Structure 1
């Protein structure tokens, strides 16, 4: 693939909307619009007694509350793990003594280049560092794995990063 031309249509915070003229591997030239995103970290925090910490967050784009794992956008020059550490404490008030990487997922590959880095947070302790962003309305909740799986089955949890991270952790034998 070859980029022929690129035009920035809009920028908001660290996210850009870009239109590109591309030559595809099959030889066709197309115009394609992409959201450029710096990436994010998703954290599956597990307490010593095996409960999983989630957030119930009001999402203005959907105009409703979502049960989801804590997550956030990587801020330069952070690594994905540094972002995970920061976001976990900001959104939940917990710190993890160690993180296990579960790799990456690509949630919106049809129109966005975001990569989400998945982590399990172990050995949690409460801190005084909970400090949500201005546009975040968050409640911290905990559930057992069985309760979370039932909420997924019943459609109460629809957030893809949460479902992907839980699935990957379970497949890897970490929960």
Structure 2
């Protein structure tokens, strides 16, 4: 790309190597880099593209360029190969669960069959009030044969927006209507064998609209102080991965 571009690249790499620009740091805007390094914006953009391609930087559209973390560079350096999926046949199927047997082939291995459990998409909501208490349910679950605290949530109906599911489930199960909910994360609770996307929502404030209407799913409704979450966690009184993920997200990042 020429001597000027080489100089821009050396300067950026020197900033990173010296520790001045730590992993995760956002780089100055292209215009500022061009002025500081005595290069045109087109040249700077080309160099940035090269550094993204080799894993030194990462780019977030609408935000800018960032110094890549060590683990990001590790992944970029190791060009990993995905498993091949040759097909899947259904062993059992109803409206709640589908059990499949997939034929998969990891890199450099012989194909083999692997069971896959397909469950429904679910939405779970952590609603926080102005006293920093979270809306929860004390429920009995027959599978583990125990009582515990859970956040309200349920299955996303066909064609339904997961946020609407979360709003609906909170009201049906607790009698409280959230003022608002924001999506914070989607995750898989048992990614090696189970397909069941969990949508986590967090919101502030709710209005009491009546008694719970979902009798089967409702339990003892209570506002639990967030300061009690750690104690309940240690006691083993928090049930379900969705409850744990949502509450730990709130404690780590707030709302």
TM over 0.5: yes
CA distance in 2, matches of 1:92, 1:164: 20
Larger radius of gyration: 2
The answer as to 2:224 corresponding to 1:143 is: yes
CA distance in 1, matches of 2:94, 2:219: 22
- Report the CA distance between 1:27 and its aligned residue: 4.4
8 Å Cα contact 1:43-1:88 kept in structure 2: yes
Counterpart in the other structure of 1:125: 207
* Residue aligned with 1:54, SS: strand
- Structure 1: which 5+ residue stretches go unaligned? none
Instruction: Name the structure with the higher helix share.
Output: 2
Across the aligned residues of Structure 1 and Structure 2, the Cα RMSD in angstroms comes to: 1.9
The answer as to 2:91 corresponding to 1:9 is: yes
- Report the CA distance between 1:98 and its aligned residue: 0.9
Q: 2:242 aligns with which of 144, 158, 161?
A: 161
- Structure 2: which 5+ residue stretches go unaligned? 1-82
Q: How many residues align?
A: 173
Structure with the larger RCO, 1 or 2 (CA within 8 Å, 6+ apart): 1
CA distance in 1, matches of 2:118, 2:248: 26
Task: Within 5 Å, give how 1:107-122 maps onto structure 2.
Answer: 107-122=189-204
CA distance in 2, matches of 1:60, 1:80: 26
Q: 2:144 aligns with which of 56, 62, 69?
A: 62
Counterpart in the other structure of 2:60: none
Q: Deviations over 1:94-137 (max 9, x none)?
A: 11121121112221112101111111122201123722264x35
**Larger mean Cα displacement after TM superposition, 34-43 or 149-158:** 149-158
